[in-house]
Amino acid sequence: MANVPLGIKTHIQKVCYVYKQTLRNLEAFYDRRNVYRYHAVLMRERFEKIINEKDMRKANELLKQAQEELFLTQHPIPRKFALSPGGVAFERVVHPPDWVLDYWHPLEKAQYPEYFKRREQRKKEFIALWEKEHGKYDPKSEHH
């Protein structure tokens, strides 16, 4: 069951994916915009030939060559977006779970009285809904 494909990609989707990876690779190599654009236009022309190829065997061979060339010419330090996986700011901002607020000091809670009043009300509603759905908690039923 682990090898079930979630979707079948068309030839054009595969070509577009490799094209985008190639452009990201070019961005890593060329930091000046005009030089990058020149190489991007040349690359676009090469990928247009792959997309417009009528013979699928030849088109697949051209795509395979493009993938191999991309692999062989990868930048040693690829560019990553800051908030993307592998970026310098990925998961930098920690969002604490809700239960942390239960451990606030009463003086801290007093600064936000409406919020904590509503929060306590919603906690009671949640507990009532849970008990309605699953029944009351019985500590005797736990197995040690």
Residue 80 lies in a domain: no
In terms of Cβ atoms closer than 10 Å to its own Cβ (0-12, 13-18, 19+), residue 85 is exposed
Q: Six-digit token pair at 25?
A: 């690779």
The parent domain of residue 51 ranges over 11-72
pLDDT over 90 (residue 40): yes
Please indicate, yes or no, whether residues 22 and 68 belong to a single structural domain of this protein: yes
**pLDDT, tens digit, 9 for 90 and up, residues 10-24:** 999 999 999 999 999
Number of domains in the chain: 2
Confidence of residue 59 (pLDDT cuts 50, 70, 90): very high
Average pLDDT, the chain: 91
Q: Is 53:62 a contact under the CB 8 Å cutoff? A: yes
**pLDDT, tens digit, 9 for 90 and up, residues 119-134:** 999 999 999 999 999 9
Sign of CA dihedral 65, 71, 73, 79: positive
Please indicate, yes or no, whether residues 60 and 18 belong to a single structural domain of this protein: yes
Sign of CA dihedral 130, 135, 136, 140: negative
Task: Pinpoint the alpha helices (H) of 32-112.
Answer: 33-52, 56-72, 106-109
Residue 19 lies in a domain: yes
The pLDDT of residue 68 = 97
Please indicate, yes or no, whether residues 21 and 65 belong to a single structural domain of this protein: yes
**pLDDT, tens digit, 9 for 90 and up, residues 79-98:** 889 999 988 999 898 889 99
Alpha carbon distance 130, 82 (integer Å): 40
Please indicate, yes or no, whether residues 18 and 62 belong to a single structural domain of this protein: yes
pLDDT over 80 (residue 4): no
The pLDDT of residue 14 = 94
pLDDT over 80 (residue 111): yes
Residue 86 lies in a domain: no
Sign of CA dihedral 119, 120, 122, 127: positive
Residue 90 lies in a domain: no
Q: Six-digit token pair at 141?
A: 């039923």
Residue 67 lies in a domain: yes
